[in-house]
């Protein structure tokens, strides 16, 4: 990280962020189309991260996703199923949809307050069990102490431990005090090797916000302009309605462009969003997931 702080401008114009987000929200009707809703659906990480989750939870999710396109042949499938590590094997055994990834949370999720060796071991074990993608939480406490070196090194070591699996780094943006700190956290994560930057765990009161995602998208753009490496964005935490999805779709389209509007670079962490999108596409209530 020796030259990291010389490579970027970390200051964010708060008023500009608020203005651009409000402007985008005012144009949601212009974004709304069946194709846009289908794209949003295909970018969902269908998520169950509950204390009460059982093996049956994993099995049921995998089976529903596996038969989804038979039941809805005009629809793309979700991007991934996201579950706790204890359910990876059950999902893997029952998931027949070949293009749907298995994502999991590791490294002391949701607080990241454990030993680095445990973070590395849990992440590596998750991939060995069958996870394609690993979602971790940045060490927020260390970040707030301005111990950026530790934050960077932990992410880099976890990325190394999981090999070819994709690493999504959760910034827990609801705990970060300024838009500038969100930008800094995103850039540290990307420099350390993150394949995605993600807003939230969904386990605190403040989840994803359009303002946080806009700041992250600007950081991703600046990182791409410098490195030519595309990094994805995953809003998560409170992403429920079609308008929520379209707002984040609009930010991705406006700031990053069409190349990011697919589930290789855009994900929506959600549990209720899938049924709401299906209902709006079919124009009748759907309770499938």
Q: What is the CATH number of the domain that holds 123?
A: 3.20.20.70
Give a yes or no: residue 287 inside a domain. no
What was the pLDDT predicted at 10? Answer: 96
Give a yes or no: residue 40 inside a domain. yes
Is residue 2 scored above 80 in pLDDT?
no
Residues 225-260 pLDDT 10s: 999 999 999 999 999 999 999 999 999 999 999 999
Distance, in Å, from the CA atom of 250 to the CA atom of 248, rounded to the nearest integer, reads 5
Give a yes or no: residue 242 inside a domain. yes
Cα pseudo-dihedral 151, 153, 154, 158, rounded to 10: 140
If pLDDT is split at 50, 70 and 90, which confidence band does 109 have? very high
Number of domains observed in the structure of the chain: 1
- Which residues neighbour 93 within 8 Å (Cβ) at sequence distance 6 or greater? 59, 62
Give a yes or no: residue 102 inside a domain. yes
Expressed as residue numbers, the domain containing 45 is 4-282
Predicted model pTM? 0.97
65: its two tokens? 């996703």
Give a yes or no: residue 157 inside a domain. yes
Q: Which residues are catalytic?
A: 135, 198, 234
Give a yes or no: residue 289 inside a domain. no
If pLDDT is split at 50, 70 and 90, which confidence band does 89 have? very high
22: its two tokens? 């409000």
Give a yes or no: residue 288 inside a domain. no
Q: 105 by DSSP, 3-state: which? A: strand
Q: Are 199 and 213 in contact (CB under 8 A)?
A: yes
């Amino acid at each position: 990280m020796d030259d990291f702080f010389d490579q970027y401008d970390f200051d964010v114009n708060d008023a500009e962020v608020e203005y651009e987000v409000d402007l985008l929200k005012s144009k949601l009707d212009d974004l709304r189309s069946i194709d846009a809703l289908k794209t949003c659906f295909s970018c969902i990480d269908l998520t169950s991260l509950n204390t009460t989750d059982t093996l049956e939870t994993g099995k049921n999710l995998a089976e529903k996703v596996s038969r989804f396109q038979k039941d809805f042949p005009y629809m793309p499938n979700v991007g991934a199923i996201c579950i706790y590590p204890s359910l990876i094997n059950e999902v893997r055994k029952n998931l027949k949809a070949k293009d749907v990834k298995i994502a999991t949370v590791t490294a002391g999720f949701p607080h990241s307050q454990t030993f680095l060796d445990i973070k590395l071991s849990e992440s590596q074990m998750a991939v060995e069990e069958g996870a394609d993608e690993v979602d971790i939480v940045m060490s927020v406490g260390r970040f707030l102490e301005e111990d950026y070196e530790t934050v960077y090194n932990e992410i880099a070591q976890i990325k190394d431990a999981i090999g070819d699996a994709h690493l999504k780094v959760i910034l827990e943006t609801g705990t970060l005090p300024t838009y500038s700190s969100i930008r800094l956290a995103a850039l540290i994560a990307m420099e350390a090797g993150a394949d995605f930057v993600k807003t939230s765990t969904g386990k605190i009161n403040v989840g994803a916000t359009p303002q946080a995602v806009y700041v992250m998208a600007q950081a991703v753009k600046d990182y791409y302009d410098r490195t030519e490496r595309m990094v994805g964005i995953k809003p998560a935490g409170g992403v429920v309605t079609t308008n929520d999805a379209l707002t984040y779709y609009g930010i991705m389209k406006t700031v990053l462009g069409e190349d990011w509007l697919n589930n290789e670079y855009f994900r929506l962490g959600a549990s209720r969003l899938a049924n709401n999108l299906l209902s709006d596409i079919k124009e009748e209530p759907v309770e499938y997931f």
